[in-house]
Structure 1
Amino acid sequence: MKFSIRGGYPLEGVLTYDESEYGFSFSAQSGDSLSGRLGSEGVASVLVGTLQLEVDIESREVLFAWGYFPNVRGVVAELSAPQFIPGRVFISSDHSFEPGVSFEVPGDRWRVSYNPSSRWVAIRLNDSTDAKFVQIASGTVLGIDNGDLVSVWLSPVFVE
């Protein structure tokens, strides 16, 4: 599974973390902006632990983050959000994507950190210094290093 960066604009909306349900959700700013990125084949997900990155099957574009993800504030750390560019990220893979089916992103040592002052959540495989960071949706930044997804940075609105 390889990730590639292309130019474009992030999907506008609101990323929320509901503490009572231990989960992220994304609400697009408009149905038109989301439907403009969806093909006719449906959506699938790639998984980082239990976090899901929604993927349009036809284009293989990563759209936004969502899903059950407990203990978001478990490890408090000083985090500086990475310098990121707006853009779009696409997946190339030998897997055939099917509606509603998820595939796990390679890597088994994802670390979660949270900065209470900036409210950023970082889910990192490693501290890659050569990664390029792309904001694919409001509140969602992906770190890509040599075609590999190495981090997901989330800046949600927290609700109880």
Structure 2
Amino acid sequence: MAHKFLVKSANVLAGTLTYSESDRGFAFHPGGLDDLAERVGGEGRTSLVADTLQLEVAVETGRALYVWGYLPRESWGRTSMELPDSRIGGVIVELDDPPLEEAISVSIARSNWEVFFDEKTGLVRVTRNQFLSEELIEIADAVHLGLAGAELNSFWLEPEFVA
């Protein structure tokens, strides 16, 4: 299965990204359900899976929407980091095979994802290669995708931490 991540002009999806200490995972809470419904379209949503982190995608358009999923904090490496320059935009996911289908997740890669966390800033980075040069695109409030060409290399997340 080949996949490409293509950048297009778009506004961010308004909302709040949280990390629940008790659930040990991320959740995205859209600011407006009408905006989300418009982005999703009539064919529903699916997820691209990076280990246990999910990138929610609109089936009709392939548009990346937000992230969610189980990601225990105990496994995160501690480091100092700042969010690199990021631009607002949309990311369209193109899959060769299988096509996107509602509620049927597709694996990006189950292994080789590292997680880094800066306790001072609250920034979380989930990455395949921390040394690769990448372009950051903010697709939703507090959700940035790091692209190396047409490949997804990382997620840069700025969650609110909740009990």
Q: Quick check: TM above 0.5?
A: yes
The residue correspondences of 1:1-160 to structure 2 (distance < 5 A) are 1-71=3-73, 74-94=76-96, 95-106=98-109, 108-160=111-163
The verdict on how the C-alpha distance between 1:9 and 1:72 changes in structure 2, with shifts beyond 3 A counting, is farther
SS in 2 for 1:96: coil
CA contact (8 A) 1:72 1:112 kept: no
The verdict on how the C-alpha distance between 1:43 and 1:72 changes in structure 2, with shifts beyond 3 A counting, is farther
What's the RMSD between the two structures over aligned residues? 1.4
SS in 1 for 2:78: coil
Deviation at 1:130, TM superposition (A): 3.1
Deviation at 1:157, TM superposition (A): 0.4
Letter in 1 for 2:8: R
CA deviation string 1:55-94 (max 9, x = no partner): 0000000000011111266311011111100000011111
The verdict on how the C-alpha distance between 1:57 and 1:72 changes in structure 2, with shifts beyond 3 A counting, is farther
With the length of structure 2 as denominator, give the TM-score of the two structures: 0.93
Alignment length (residue pairs): 160
SS in 2 for 1:121: strand
Letter in 1 for 2:61: S
Letter in 1 for 2:121: S
Identity of aligned residues (%): 32
SS in 2 for 1:144: strand
The verdict on how the C-alpha distance between 1:10 and 1:128 changes in structure 2, with shifts beyond 3 A counting, is farther
Structure 2, unmatched stretches of 5+, are none
Moved over 4 A (4+): none
Cα distance in structure 2, aligned partners of 1:106 and 1:47 = 7
Cα distance in structure 2, aligned partners of 1:119 and 1:105 = 25
Structure 1, unmatched stretches of 5+, are none
Letter in 1 for 2:11: Y
Cα distance in structure 1, aligned partners of 2:100 and 2:27 = 22
The verdict on how the C-alpha distance between 1:72 and 1:36 changes in structure 2, with shifts beyond 3 A counting, is farther
Letter in 2 for 1:22: R
With the length of structure 1 as denominator, give the TM-score of the two structures: 0.95
SS in 2 for 1:37: helix
